[in-house]
Chains A and B, each alone.
Chain A
Amino acid sequence: MATLKLKNLSKRYGKTVWGAKDINLEVNDKEFIVLLGPSGCGKTTTMRMIAGLEEVTQGIIYIDEKDVTFLPPRKRDISMVFQSYAVWPHLTVSDNIAFPLRLKNLKSAEIEKRVKEVSSLTKIEEYLERFPRQLSGGQRQRVALARALVVQPKVFLMDEPLSNLDAKLRVKMRTEMKAIHKKTQATTVFVTHDQAEAMSMADRIVIMKDGSIVQEGSTDDVYFDCEDMFVAGFIGTPPTNFLSMELGEKNGKLLLVNSAFSFEPIGENYEILKNYSGKQVIMGVRPESMQVFKEKKPESVFSREVLVTEPQGSHQIVAIELDDQIVKIVAPPFPKVNPGEIVHIGFEHDRIMFFNPETEKRIRKA
């Protein structure tokens, strides 16, 4: 197993379209890294450059400290699961899996052994003699996975391997693939646009936007400690609520004000905001970092009429209107809140994130 390092990696299509721009990333040995971002943000481009299927415009790719930027795919010691699976239709399942091994001139006994191992790991032993057209989508996906695993590559690449499966199977495969990773300990780059998939599988998530990396970190990092408004808005369902606030001063104290309410930033938040007096900031607060009370409490900051509620079983989503903007709050399932009811709303102050309205970047402690 091995490490992967991307240095200033860029890809330009034609004269102006940047598929990926200045990607810097280090993947540690045995790490499971997920590239996450909306469609068209350059995940596939980045992955194809790592695989050697796309010519690099700028930058260097290291696998195990070795520069592989200009090596053809077969010499990079990688393997890949394609979004469309790319299982060869004219070969049986076992021939598909054995294909990379045969090219390595392994003995047939060894090939057989490894095919067997990997097919039991991916649970396709029964289908070895079938042709791909005789398999379901999920089974084909397993074949693609088995073929990629069997070569025991240095780096394992997967481009949205689960996106063509139905929702239930997708969730099941997540768990299975995670278990397989635990067993094989392969250094993995996994691409997805599905944040739930990313969060549940990743050791580290790399969030991309418009061809560049905007943030990388653990699931908790990218969820609770967002670098900018894009990440805060992209990760989490329902997404982060953004409230436009002005920093005022009253009686020598800082005060966050908008048209509906005002409150005093306390603790950390004071430290963060103390240089922003008189300026506009954007307050980002996750739906579950807000509290809904039926009675007025000291913690509550303002009151509002409930617009709608969405019961979800384990919790309920309460929507209120604030400055022509819908704010969603995730509340415990009980007590039940009803539309039209006046509720009192508070914040978990240490979970609030502040952003610069111009740069959309996070405002951190100076």
Chain B
Amino acid sequence: MSHKVLRAKQTKKLIGRTIFYMFIVFIIMVILLPIYFLLSISFMSDQEAYDWPIPLGLSFQGEFKIEPVLGTSEYLVSVYSRSQEAYMSLIQGSKIDQMSEFLRNKTNCNVSEEKLNEAIAEVNALYETNSNRINTLTEEISNLEKKILSLNQNIIKAKRNLSIVEGRESMEAVEEKLRADLKQYEAEKEIITVEIEEKKAELTPLNSTHFKVFKNLFANYVTFFKVTRDSIPALMRSIQVALLTVFIALTIGGMSGYAFARYVFKGKNILKLSTLFVRMFPGIAIAMPMVIILAEMGFYDKPIGLSLVYSVGQIALTIWITASIFMGIPVELEEAAQVFGRTRVGAFIHITLPLALPGLAASAMYAFIGSWAETAQAIVLTQFNPTFPVVVYQTMVGAKGMVNLIAAGGVTMALPAVLFTILIRKYILQMWGGVKV
């Protein structure tokens, strides 16, 4: 093969590879971006969450500016907004304790009273040393601002007159003059505006001081748990419900899955399909009649009652997953174990079960996720002992519009399921690679 052809081939390969990786990265972005977005919002302060555009990167500290308000004993505190690339005024006041609390709530930064006092002392000292210059500058600025005011009046006047004379015959000369005036006023205004900017730029470092404070990233989470009623017991109950559901779904569903995979019996297909029908009914519709049944059984408002209801749907899914897993494991492996010394049950436990573990882990994960985050049925089926999703839901409804708080709730809800999945990741990943036999 000639050099050229080889080169062309390599280039082609390189292009192909690049496109492939771009595609993969794209897919990952599509999957991960919303999650990242939720996460980063959950770490944002109120002030950040309502900035537009919402900054995508996480920030770990806030930059504040404090300046005295001339003519009063009050101070103005501003915070740097990354999306506006400018300082935004937050609060003006003289009461240090109130200001500190307000700033803490608004920015999630621990702006203590001492810090504020320190900054105020600094800015006062600055003021003392530069008072002459500050005074002249403020005076100049106010003069200039007065000029602008009168210019504005002139401009408005000229515009009004212009609209009267415009288009009239024999008034061309007047119109011409008015236009010239207007142009001049505007030019003057521009010059003065620039001048004011310059003066202000000179003034700012003279009469204001900056300070940085670290952000408390988990402030929203703390707040969330504070405002959510009964959050810890609800969390415990939810974990209990989810684990119970996993247990019930895996034992009953797994056994049925095994039966479906290994035995031939009448009506197998109809039975298999009917397990799917269960999942077609909306959970909430099943929950209603369940209230009565559970109440009669004494399981209403108890974790076991909820997990029983969840199991109905989860068992069906587990049957489907485990049946296909067990079907993928040849019967001969079990039979060989029986020939070489195991009982039937022993063969199942020592041969089939370890091979089926990835599939079982996957269905455990589904069952966990499915029962952990379920809200609608839980609202119906609990009263005094709500599960975590229910209290989160209540908080979300209560915290109308507090996006960052809601995001923190959402992340908290996802966390146990994520943890559970990480714990069994070894088997789940095996499942993805397929059962190798």
Contact = CB atoms under 8 A, between A and B. Distances in A.
Interface of A: 51-53, 72-74, 78-80, 82-84, 86, 88-90, 99-100, 103-104, 133, 147, 151
A84 B330 CA distance: 9
Interface string B322-357: 000000001011011111111110000001001100
A74 B335 contact: no
Contacts of B7: none
Contact of B343 (A74, A83, A88, A99): A74
Nearest to B333: A86
B437 interface: yes
A78 B341 contact: no
A90 B354 CA distance: 8
B3 interface: no
B436 interface: yes
Closest 4 pairs (CB-CB, A-B): A103-B341, A86-B332, A100-B340, A86-B336
Interface in B11-33: none
Contacts of B437: 89
**Considering residues B338, B339, B342, which has the most beta carbons from chain A within 10 angstroms of its beta carbon?**
B339
Contact of A74 (B332, B340, B355): B340
B336 A82 contact: yes
Contact of A133 (B332, B333, B351, B436): B436
B340 A89 contact: no
A311 to B, nearest CB: 43
A84 B355 contact: no
6 contacts: A72-B343, A73-B335, A73-B339, A74-B341, A86-B333, A86-B335
B330 A53 contact: no
Contacts of A74: 338-343
Given A74-B341, A104-B341, A82 B436 contact: no
Q: Is the interface of B mostly helix, strand, loop or mixed?
A: helix
B339 A78 contact: yes
Interface in B205-238: none
A147 B341 CA distance: 12
A303 B332 CA distance: 56
B333 A88 contact: yes
A188 to B, nearest CB: 15
Contacts of B338: 52-53, 72-74
Given A82-B332, A84-B332, A51 B339 contact: yes
A88 B336 contact: yes
A279 to B, nearest CB: 49
Nearest to A97: B340
Select the residue from B336, B351, B354 with max chain A CB neighbours within 10 A: B336
Nearest to B354: A90
Contacts of B436: 89, 133
Contacts of A53: 335, 338-339
Contacts of A88: 333, 336-337, 351
A315 to B, nearest CB: 41
B340 A79 contact: yes
A258 to B, nearest CB: 51
A79 B339 contact: yes
A152 B338 CA distance: 16
B336 A80 contact: yes
Contacts of A151: 340
B87 to A, nearest CB: 64
B335 A100 contact: no
Contact of B340 (A72, A84, A103): A103
A228 B425 CA distance: 63
A145 to B, nearest CB: 13
A73 B339 CA distance: 5
A117 B351 CA distance: 25
Contacts of A78: 339
A132 to B, nearest CB: 9
Nearest to B330: A84
A222 to B, nearest CB: 29
Contacts of A79: 339-340
A98 to B, nearest CB: 10
A80 B339 contact: yes
Given A51-B339, A73-B335, A103-B341, 18 more contacts: A51-B335, A52-B339, A82-B332, A82-B336, A84-B332, A86-B333, A88-B337, A89-B436, A89-B437, A90-B354, A90-B355, A99-B337, A99-B340, A100-B340, A100-B341, A103-B340, A147-B340, A151-B340
Nearest to A159: B332
A74 B337 CA distance: 9
A103 B338 CA distance: 11
A100 B339 CA distance: 9
A103 B339 CA distance: 11
**Which among B341, B344, B354, B436 has the highest number of chain A CB atoms within 10 Å?**
B341
Interface string B295-331: 0000000000000000000000000000000000010
A362 to B, nearest CB: 38
Nearest to B355: A90
A72 B338 CA distance: 8
